[in-house]
Structure formats: structure tokens, C-alpha cells
Structure 1
Amino acid sequence: MDVEPDWLVWAREIQAIAQTGLTFSENPYDRERYEALRALSARIFAARTSALAERIETLFEGETGYATPKIDVRAAVFDESDRLLMVREVADQHRWTLPGGWADVNLTTAENAIKEVVEESGYRVGVTKLAALWDRTRQRHPNGVFSCAKVFFLCDLLGGEATASLETSEVGWFAEGCVPSDLSVGRVTSGQISRMFEHRRNPELATDFE
């Protein structure tokens, strides 16, 4: 995947400046300027994508407070045969990914990972290691509107049974050489999956970051 284009980096930064400015500024003239910056960012996104500027600006209006990266959690669950748990993501044409999603409030990132596994696969797991904390852009995922930090946990299987959900259409276990090629690359890449197998083989590996 290519590095993000300059226009995306700049438009995202403009949106973040506008969001943070609207959070802390009380001066009505400054607020007008920040709202204009937010609209400008939306127009840039619209000019480079198929989305309407109005729709993008509505999305931006829902973002309040100091602008920070969003948190995506992923669970690398292994069974006793060192097979990796994967699910088909309905929202991405039923492509395969590790269980996970946006982190919910009032839960730790590890608790979020456990919750996502239960909801998407039917299995109960225990977190054993923080394997990676990666920036989505640096990992060359498809371009996204907002900055995102991706948190990967190693997990052991505790129980349960394969159960698809509204979000997933299939649940499967895969040995290292048999991982599906039709991945939901917005959620996980083949390189990240390979790295999870490396962490499984060598639990003493340091947590990956950046």
C-alpha cells in the first residue's frame, strides 16, 4: 500500500486544528474561522473522493473535544495447535480479519479486545500480551479520514464455540501457512498477521510500536 498522499495529511490536520479550536475558543470571530477551516477540510476530502462535502462536514461536526487518534483493537487468538482465529467481516464484502473494532468507552483496551472476540466469534479468551501498538498510516492501510492507533493483543482460547454474528458471516481457525488471502486490509494486513505468529512463537519479543 502506498504512503498517504500529502493532500490527505494536510486535510486531516486542518480538520484537527478546527476541531480543537472550536473546543477551546469562545471568541465568535475565531469560531467562525475554525468553522471555515472545517468546511475547507471537508471540501478537500470531497474533491479527492466520491463523498459529498456536506456529508463529510456533518461527520466532522460530530467530532468534538481535543482532536486525538481513534483506537482500533485487534485480538490475535491462538488455540493449542497454534492456529489463529479469524472472522469474515460483513461490512467489507465478507473478507477475513482478526476479531476487533473501535474501542468502547469505560473499558480498557484489553477488555475491548475480549468483548470483540465474544461478539464476533462466540469464543471466550484471555489476553496474554500487548503485541503491537501501531499507527495505521505507518502500517500502510487504506487511507482513512481520521488518525488511528491500532492495538494488537495476543490471546489464549478459554472456551465457547464458533458463532457468527451480525458483523461476521464465518469463523475459522488457520495455521500459519493457510491464512486466507482475501483479507480486510483496512482492518489487518498480511504482515501484521505474520508478526502475530512470530509473537506466538516467541513470547519474549518486545511489543512493536510505530
Structure 2
Amino acid sequence: MSADLPWATDGMAAAERVRRAAVLLAGLAQDGLTFAGNDYESDRYRKVAGLAVELLAAVSGRDAEELTLELGRDSGYATPKVDVRGACFDADERVLLMRERADGLWSLPGGWADPGDTPTTAVLRELQEEAGVVGEVLRLVGCWDRDARGHTPPLPVAVVKLFFLCRVLEQGEPDPLETLGVGWFALVDLPPLSTSRVTEEELHRCLAHHRDPSLATELD
């Protein structure tokens, strides 16, 4: 498979190949619209963006208008979105999870980094809002590509995920608008996970770094 289509393999399903190609097309179209030198070029890139949306709609079953709005939120040079997650463990090696309002499933506290945030500022804010935790960042566990890590369902944008090992300094109450609840869970007895946000394998990697601070940050 072409090196221009990251994480594609010969055994990948056709629909997933199309989705990843469409994500790249959407990014190329966004770049083209940003740097287009004339109306003719802009028109061509708008058509490329439209084709990318149609491909994404065809393989995802989502509405093309909805996808157009989602892809149109960003402007300028196309880059991956950044998702931050904070992993806290207690003395019994239980992990702190929060229950998502969006799907009723469980995840590490986290979300999109906002413009103006440093990565650590973003994850500490998410910990406080979603889990009621005043914490500190100990280290970066992993800088991972969402598609490469097998998160489902797939998204119409590229995402880089930053997982931080954190320590709880103070436990309070989460924002009720952000979460349905919080809890500490052993990794052998996890609740249903929101796999769009976190996988069991990622939790195990976080626990490995909790146990062994000498481990190097893991990179895709």
C-alpha cells in the first residue's frame, strides 16, 4: 500500500481503506483552499472536499451535510486533532474512570485540547471537570495515533492521542454536566469502555508505566 496512506495494510477492509483515503483527501482539500492562488484553484479544491465528504458518507452511513459541518470547523493547514487522557491509579492499582454522558460508557478523563492550552494544562483541566480531581502530571505514557490503536467507531478526522500518567492530589466532585459518575476499577474487572476514547490495551500500558517509572514514552 502507498506510504501516502498511513496505517493501511494489504489485509485492511476496503471500506476502511476508502475512509482513510477520504480523510487524507479532506485534509488536502483544506490545505488547497488555504493556499489557493486563484478562484479556479479554490473551486477545484472545494470539489475535492465534496468528494471526500461523499466517500466518508458512503462508508460510514452518516449524513453528508453533518460531515460537511464537522469537517468545516477547522480552517488553515490541516493537522490532526489532539485528544488528551489522564490516567490515575490508587495504591491497589485501580484506575480512575468516568462515565461519559455521550454514550453512557466509561473512559479515562480527557477530551480535545483547546487552543491556548499546553497539553498538561488540558489534561489537568479535564481531570478536574470530568472526575473532580485536582492532580499533577507525572509523565507522558504514550503519543499514539487513534486509527493505529484501533479505536472504534472511526472518525472523519485524524487524531493524535496523548496519555498522561497523573497523581491525585485532592478528590472532589465532578461537574455534573460533564459526567454521569466516577469510580475506581481494577483492570481485571473493568466496566464497559467507551472504545472511541480509550481501549483496554491503553489502560494496561498506563498501568505498566505506573509500575515502572523508568519506561520510555511510547510513540507511534
Taking structure 1 as the reference length, what is the TM-score of the superposition? 0.93
Structure 2 partner of 1:59: 70
Letter in 1 for 2:44: R
For residues 146-157 of structure 1, what are the structure 2 equivalents within 5 Å?
Answer: 146-157=157-168
List alignment gaps of at least 5 residues for structure 1.
none
The answer (yes or no) to whether the contact 1:77–1:84 under 8 Å persists in 2 is yes
Deviation of the 1:179 alpha carbon: 2.4
- The alignment yields a C-alpha RMSD, in angstroms, of 1.8
Counterpart selection for 1:29 from 35, 40, 49: 40
**Percent identity of the aligned residues?**
39
Are 1:145 and 2:156 an aligned pair? Answer: yes
Unaligned runs of 5+ in 2: 1-12
Q: What residue in structure 1 maps to residue 189 of structure 2?
A: 178
Equivalent of 2:85 in 62, 74, 89: 74
Deviations 1:68-120 (A, max 9, x none): 1100000001234432110000101x111000000011111111000000000
Q: Say whether the 8 Å CA contact 2:15–2:59 is kept in structure 1.
A: no
Q: Distance in 1 between matches of 2:46 and 2:88?
A: 44
- Moved >3 Å (runs of 4+): none
SS, match of residue 125 in structure 1: strand
AA at the equivalent of 1:191: E
8 Å Cα contact 1:176/1:194 also seen in 2:
yes
Structure 1 residues 146 and 4, CA gap change in structure 2 (3 angstroms): farther
SS in 1 for 2:102: helix
1:1-210 paired onto structure 2 within 5 Å? 5-92=16-103, 94-142=104-152, 143-163=154-174, 165-180=176-191, 182-210=192-220
What is the deviation of 1:150? Answer: 0.3
Give the equivalent residue in structure 1 for 2:4.
Answer: none
What displacement does 1:37 show?
Answer: 0.3
Matched residue SS, 2:29: helix
- Structure 2 SS opposite 1:177: coil
Please give the TM-score of this superposition, normalised by the length of structure 2.
Answer: 0.89
Task: Give per-residue Cα distances to partners, 1:122-148, cap 9 Å, x unaligned.
Answer: 111100000100000110111111000
CA distance in 2, matches of 1:3, 1:47: 12
Q: Deviations over 1:153-209 (max 9, x none)?
A: 0001100324352121010012333322x1000000000001111111001101011
